[in-house]
Copies of this chain bind each other. A is one copy, B any other.
Amino acid sequence: MFNDKLKEECGVFGVYNLEGKDVSPTIYYGLLALQHRGQESCGIAVSDTFSNSYNINSVKDMGLVNNVFNKENLSSLKGNIGVGHVRYSTTGASVRENAQPLVLNYMKGTLALSHNGNLINLEELSHELKKSGSIFYTNIDSEVIASCIAKERVLSSSIEEAVCKTMKKIEGAYSIVVMSPRKLIGLRDPYGFKPLCIGKKDNSYIFSSESSALDNIGAEFIRDVEPGEVVTISSKGIESNKENMIDKNLQGRCVFEYIYFSRVDSFIDGVSVYDARVKSGEYLAKQSFVDADIVTGVPDSGNAAAIGYAKESGIPYRVVFVKNNYIGRTFIKPDPNERTSAVQMKLNVLKNIVKDKRIVLVDDSIVRGTTSNQIISMLKDAGAREVHMRISSPPFLYPCYFGIDVPSRKELIASSHTKEEIRKIIGADSLDYLNTDNLSHLVNDLGICKGCFTGDYPIKNIKGKQKKLVR
């Protein structure tokens, strides 16, 4: 809802209907349900395993799912197997050419690929491929991954084998759905940075970045693709290859998927995002109780943590913000000289509730601090006596190499200010963050990546491989 937020990279979705029914409508609804993971471009590619043709048809363009797809182009996508993608760019410019799924021809015919994540050895790989004559059209990871698969396919006996070999070459975060004209393959990097799960509806198998999209389309959740696993769906049913899996202790799920990116109704690797957020609020309350009249969350991502804080602290939870759901992407920003702010246009305060109250305000993170400052001002203008800010994640101090788009170090308020300085800047009466130690407890002690909080990443020697730092 606010620009002053961390940005997720992408969402992937894939469907294989064993009975031959068209899957493009299901993918369309799946992408709509994953839209929060990427709003720059989107696309669907389909193939028909029952025809003699090995063609892949696709529609992709800049824009939201609602804008790119219409009845006409959706019904032109005939086929019982398909992949979809929603994209927000971290690497690669925001241009039409970079829209996914990538669709290409190679030795064995055609291939489509949707990717969520960020490689750290991209330049190395790309350089090597070019030395043997490869050409690339885009500057996105996905094209290099596809080229690797195509190259491995020449010496492999199946597309799955080529995919498994490719996993040994690419390093970083990736949840991918690959479609050959007869197979649908879902894979997840060995660290499990990004989520990917499997669902089923009637005679369709489904891959989805998030389980909530399965709910929205009326599908049943089967299980998560495991970190390092390659799951292949074909006319023979479902098969799994686990040769690239690593020790569970080395896994490094992105903790922001729980705290902010994923929808609150998703489950990732067995953990409810809602529960993780509620717990974060509970830990915050234990860690940093403050006497107040009401607890509230910054909509929408702060709400569940606020409920947790309320539960633990005994202070009543109240909704105090009213959102304007009509502020769209083309919203013209207010003149900075005017006193009207974009935040004020998006949120209003229920004055009756706020007046004369001491408020605990819970949010998931502070990036630049500007939004927090405006929201706290609004509460004070509406008569709040005190506003105590509680953040349901630790301070964001280090670059993310795995797909979170973070502003430059200079803009990142926590990397250049003390907690007290930040408190003053945002105008809060007190401020506290969740302790790093509590992070793993939120997710039942699953292996997570704490790199952005501690500088200690699941993959070592990143610096040598990766020239791109935080921008």
Say whether A331 contacts B66, CB under 8 Å. yes
Is A283 located at the chain interface by the 8 A CB criterion?
no
Q: A150-B133, A348-B212, A348-B215 are in contact. Are A35 and B326 (CB under 8 A)?
A: yes
Say whether A105 contacts B136, CB under 8 Å. yes
Is A292 located at the chain interface by the 8 A CB criterion?
no
Q: Which residues of B contact A70 (CB under 8 A)?
A: 330, 332
A248 → chain B, closest Cβ, in Å? 24
Question: Once bound together, how far apart are the Cα atoms of A353 and B29, in whole Å?
Answer: 25
Question: Once bound together, how far apart are the Cα atoms of A96 and B303, in whole Å?
Answer: 41
Q: A132-B154, A133-B132, A136-B105 are in contact. Are A65 and B147 (CB under 8 A)?
A: no
A84 → chain B, closest Cβ, in Å? 14
Interface residues of A in 117-168 (CB under 8 A from B): 129-137, 139, 146-147, 150-154
Say whether A29 contacts B348, CB under 8 Å. no
Is A352 located at the chain interface by the 8 A CB criterion?
yes
> Copy number in this complex?
4
Interface residues of A in 26-51 (CB under 8 A from B): 26, 28-29, 32-33, 35-36, 39
Say whether B332 contacts A74, CB under 8 Å. yes
Interface string of A452-464 (1 = CB under 8 A from B): 0000000000000
Interface string of A11-32 (1 = CB under 8 A from B): 0000000000000011011001
Q: Which of A336-344, A362-370, A437-445 lies at the interface?
A: A336-344
Name which of A26, A328, A335 has the most chain B CB atoms within 10 A of its CB.
Answer: A328
Is A103 located at the chain interface by the 8 A CB criterion?
yes
Q: Which residues of B contact A387 (CB under 8 A)?
A: none
Is A238 located at the chain interface by the 8 A CB criterion?
no
Say whether A212 contacts B136, CB under 8 Å. no
Say whether A106 contacts B334, CB under 8 Å. no
A304 → chain B, closest Cβ, in Å? 9
Q: A35-B324, A263-B322 are in contact. Are A106 and B132 (CB under 8 A)?
A: no
Of chain B, the residue at the smallest CB distance from A147 is: B135
Say whether A29 contacts B350, CB under 8 Å. no
Is A397 located at the chain interface by the 8 A CB criterion?
no
Is A261 located at the chain interface by the 8 A CB criterion?
no
Q: Which residues of B contact A218 (CB under 8 A)?
A: 338-341, 344
A412 → chain B, closest Cβ, in Å? 27
Of chain B, the residue at the smallest CB distance from A58 is: B97
Q: Which residues of B contact A274 (CB under 8 A)?
A: 350, 352-353
Of chain B, the residue at the smallest CB distance from A382 is: B215
Say whether A275 contacts B352, CB under 8 Å. yes
Q: Which residues of B contact A66 (CB under 8 A)?
A: 326-331
Is A217 located at the chain interface by the 8 A CB criterion?
yes
Of chain B, the residue at the smallest CB distance from A138 is: B105
Say whether A135 contacts B350, CB under 8 Å. no
Question: Once bound together, how far apart are the Cα atoms of A215 and B383, in whole Å?
Answer: 14
Question: Once bound together, how far apart are the Cα atoms of A421 and B466, in whole Å?
Answer: 66
Question: Once bound together, how far apart are the Cα atoms of A210 and B137, in whole Å?
Answer: 29
New A-B pairs, 8, CB < 8 Å, besides A25-B334, A212-B348: A25-B335, A32-B324, A36-B325, A66-B328, A66-B329, A70-B332, A106-B130, A216-B348
27 contacts between A and B (CB under 8 A): A25-B335, A29-B334, A32-B331, A33-B324, A36-B325, A36-B326, A64-B326, A65-B326, A66-B327, A66-B329, A67-B328, A69-B332, A105-B136, A107-B131, A111-B135, A133-B152, A134-B134, A135-B146, A216-B324, A216-B345, A263-B348, A264-B350, A265-B349, A274-B352, A274-B353, A275-B352, A303-B319
The 3 closest A-B pairs by CB, nearest first: A133-B151, A35-B326, A66-B328
